[in-house]
Structures are given as structure tokens and as C-alpha cells.
Amino acid sequence: MRDAVTSLIKNYDVAGRYFDRNALDSLKSYFESGTSRVQAAAAINSNAAGIVKQAGLKLFEELPELIRPGGNAYTTRRYAACLRDMDYYLRYATYALVAGNTNVLDERVLQGLRETYNSLGVPISPTVRGVQIMKDLVKEQIAAAGLVNTAFVDEPFDHITRELSEIDI
Ligand SMILES: CCC1=C(C)/C(=C/C2=NC(=C\c3[nH]c(/C=C4\NC(=O)[C@H](C)[C@H]4CC)c(C)c3CCC(=O)O)/C(CCC(=O)O)=C2C)NC1=O
């Protein structure tokens, strides 16, 4: 599992090089955004269950067929599994947000996930929609907590979206 700093060190160590201007700029930007990242994590932590619940309601309102007979989130067990997955995405996105790196998502969440989803018939594009709804809710929450620049919040959620949507050839 890597963060912004260890990942940079790894890349420069492989090449046997000292940090150059690019590396220093990226370190600077990581440390400068550090407090905002921690504040964002705090805002998410204070209402994680609420964010997941609200995102679920919004998703099922947009795509009601998911919770109708024949839908993948139909039955209490599968409904709960769906919200649990959303909670995984939110929690790991928060880790990635603090780390300034998406490696934790690749290693702990995304590896093999599409195959699992495909074998269980869990539909990818509604899942991706759920992740995007959570991103928007998180950004609202963080803006309400007083953070002005919330753009960095997109990265982990968009990473999950990109990786899940990628077509297997
Ligand atoms: C921490 C990393 C991690 C992830 C990400 C994870 C996902 C994950 N989701 C699963 C199931 C599932 N995932 C969903 C999710 C959904 N169905 C829908 O229609 C919606 C679109 C969507 C919610 C947004 C559902 C319904 C199941 C149960 C499917 C079944 O058993 O038939 C399963 C199969 C085993 C199980 O049911 O627990 C895994 C492994 N597990 C992990 O350990």
C-alpha cells in the first residue's frame, strides 16, 4: 500500500535519482493540501452512515428496477450487500484521499472486483452511478464543513469509476 510520498520515493529509487523539480513540486502540493485532506476525512467520518444511506436511496430512486423482483439488489440480503459495498467504497476512498494516492483502492478493493461482480450478476454501471452519487454527497458535506477547494475529492471516486468501467478485452 502506498501514499503520495512512498510512491514518489519508490519511483525515484528505482531510477537511482535524487528528487528533481517535478518531484519536489508534487511533494509540496501534497503537503500543502494535507490539512484539507484531513478535514475532508473528518467530514466524511462524522456522517459516513448517513452518506451511504442517502446515496442508496438516491440510487434506488433513479433506478428502481434494481430493487424490484429480478433486480440485483432485490431481497433484504442483496439490498444490504449493495449498501455494504457502497460503504466499502466510501471508507477506502477516504483512505485514498488522505494518502493522496489510489494504490490502496487497487490493492484492497478493485483487484478482482469486476470478475466477482460479473459472476454474481452485479451490474457495473449502476454501481458506478452509486459511487458518483456518493462523490457528490461527500463534496456537499465537505463544502458545508467550510472547505473551499473540494476538487481533490474527485480523484478516488473517479478512480473507482474508471477501473470498474474499464472493458475487459
Ligand atoms: C473491501 C473490498 C470488497 C468489495 C468491494 C466487495 C464487494 C462484493 N460485493 C459482493 C456482492 C454484492 N454486491 C452487490 C451490490 C449491488 N447490487 C446492485 O444491484 C447495486 C448496483 C450494487 C450496490 C451499489 C450485491 C447485491 C451483492 C450480492 C449479490 C449476490 O449475492 O447475489 C461480493 C460477493 C460476496 C458477498 O456477497 O459478500 C463482494 C466480494 N467485497 C469486499 O471485500
SS3 letters for the chain?
CCCHHHHHHHHHHHHCCCCCHHHHHHHHHHHHCHHHHHHHHHHHHCCHHHHHHHHHHHHHHHCHHHHCCCCCCCCHHHHHHHHHHHHHHHHHHHHHHHHCCCHHHHHHHHCCHHHHHHHHCCCHHHHHHHHHHHHHHHHHHHHHCCCCCCHHHHHHHHHHHHHHHCCCC
For 96-140, write each residue's pLDDT tens digit.
999 999 999 999 999 999 999 999 999 999 999 999 999 999 999
pLDDT at 151 over 70: yes
What is the mean predicted confidence (pLDDT) over 10-28? 97
Mutate to test the pocket of ligand 1, among 83, 89, 120, 131 (most ligand atoms within 8 A of CB): 120
Confidence of residue 150 (pLDDT cuts 50, 70, 90): confident
Q: Does the predicted TM-score (pTM) go above 0.85?
A: yes
Query: Does residue 49 have its Cβ closer than 6 Å to ligand 1?
Result: no
First to last CA, the chain: 27
Residue ranges, comma separated, of all CATH 1.10.490.20 domains in the chain are: 34-166
Atom 43 of ligand 1, nearest CA residue? 109
Distance CA 32, CA 72 (A): 43
Mutate to test the pocket of ligand 1, among 118, 122, 128, 159 (most ligand atoms within 8 A of CB): 122
Query: Does residue 100 have its Cβ closer than 6 Å to ligand 1?
Result: no
Residues 6+ apart with CB under 8 A from 163: 105, 106, 110
Query: Does residue 132 have its Cβ closer than 6 Å to ligand 1?
Result: no
Atom of ligand 1 nearest to the CA of 63: 21
Atom 14 of ligand 1, nearest CA residue? 82
For 46-73, write each residue's pLDDT tens digit.
999 999 999 999 999 999 999 999 999 9
CATH superfamily of 34-166: Phycocyanins (1.10.490.20)
